Structure 1
């Protein structure tokens, strides 16, 4: 059978219409999920704490080092408070900073340094040492440990976590109060007295520090300038 051009065009149009109807019909039986909009990406978890930058009054680089020390130790359970100790500041000033990371709130306290770190008793730390018998302050990351009653009453042990302070426990480096760390020392002498390497506070300040940093929380101590 032969078809002229007009008949062929007519049949072609009819075939195309059939294909369109077939395609439309098949779309009605596809599952609705085929045409569903792509799911929105999951919402990223909120940061654990809202203190991305150093609070006012704390050396920004020192704060970053303290946060890095905490972030690199996921096994530290209590992460709400940290202690940041700036031994680049003299003992007459409040240089032991307790930071509440969720809010960025800071409380600052005076703290004594070791006599071996300031032999001339200038009020400024000039070097660190981890050596037993040095009576010097050590730098690095610490965690608080158990409390006990000793020479200065209620005190708190600390664990040194770095090679620069890992003798802290054997050297009996602790948090304690001392008469030479009371505010009157600054009023009279313009500086605090010196410890044997311990973090020595006034009686009132020691209580506040232990209340906030007990339970294995992190303390980071260093001198950057």
Structure 2
């Protein structure tokens, strides 16, 4: 894990925007030439048989094995989401996966380095509306405004700001199941009720208003490893 953490930039570094990349295009033309024929008719020129057209072969996508501690089927669905939304996710070297099939007492928020498979896992809270009885298990997702529930799908980690929970990070929902995330102010932030000592006292974390609330000592690690422009994928299906 030290190798992964040493590669992490400081908070000031990941608050800087990436430079835009410009592209160029090349336009080619072809010229025709007129050839005069002799008075005597030339013998017929055999028409060559066109060569067979090769069927294009799809480029194989390398198989990425699910890191230890992450359900393989969940990891594959996260990778499929990364491919599906790739045009909007400019940083694809690392992703975050929230496995809400697990109780809040488990390390269910995984930050994965896709180059080497190294993973940092931590606690994360779910929303009040997702667990009204406060069982510690997410019961349902919701994308509705004022539901105070967690929503599922792929999110784009956007910009940082200072708000009610101090330094936080906005999230943009990329799927129909979470496309109200920005309007609902679903963000990443730190909270006392997501600290690890809550497990010893209560056997579960407290609940957010739908946000990805992590422990107060974990926020810097999340921001350093996730940064802007990367994807979070949240799901419950087992």
TM-score range, shorter chain: 0.7 to 0.9
Q: Which shifted more, 211-220 or 71-80?
A: 71-80
Residue 157 (str. 1) matches residue 177 (str. 2): no
Residue 169 (str. 1) matches residue 182 (str. 2): yes
1:106 to 90, 112, 119: 119
Structure 2: runs of 5+ lacking an equivalent: 1-58
Contact 1:51 1:104 in 2 (8 A): no
The aligned residue for residue 115 of structure 1 is 128
Contact 1:51 1:102 in 2 (8 A): no
Q: What TM-score comes out, normalization by structure 2 length?
A: 0.73
C-alpha distance after superposition, 1:34-75 (max 9, x if no partner): xxxxxxxxxxx996xx76121111011110010001112232
The aligned residue for residue 67 of structure 2 is 55
Q: 2:189 & 2:125 partners in 1: Cα distance?
A: 10
1:206 Cα shift?
A: 1.6
C-alpha distance after superposition, 1:73-102 (max 9, x if no partner): 232211111001100000001000000000
Structure 1: runs of 5+ lacking an equivalent: 1-44
Residue 200 (str. 1) matches residue 209 (str. 2): no
Between the two proteins, the alignment pairs up a number of residues equal to 180
Q: 1:84 & 1:145 partners in 2: Cα distance?
A: 16
Q: 2:187 & 2:63 partners in 1: Cα distance?
A: 28
Contact 1:51 1:101 in 2 (8 A): no
The aligned residue for residue 139 of structure 2 is 126
Contact 2:67 2:119 in 1 (8 A): yes
Contact 2:85 2:174 in 1 (8 A): no
Contact 1:146 1:156 in 2 (8 A): yes
Q: What TM-score comes out, normalization by structure 1 length?
A: 0.77
The aligned residue for residue 26 of structure 1 is none
Contact 1:95 1:109 in 2 (8 A): yes
Residue 84 (str. 1) matches residue 97 (str. 2): yes
Residue 71 (str. 1) matches residue 83 (str. 2): yes
Counterpart secondary structure, 2:79: helix
1:190 Cα shift?
A: 0.4
Q: 2:204 & 2:232 partners in 1: Cα distance?
A: 23
Runs in 1 of length 4+ with deviation above 3 angstroms?
Answer: none
The aligned residue for residue 36 of structure 2 is none
Q: Which structure has the greater CA radius of gyration? A: 1
- RMSD between superposed Cα atoms in Å: 1.6
Counterpart secondary structure, 2:104: coil
Q: 2:121 & 2:178 partners in 1: Cα distance?
A: 23
Kindly indicate which of the two structures has a greater share of residues assigned to helix. 1
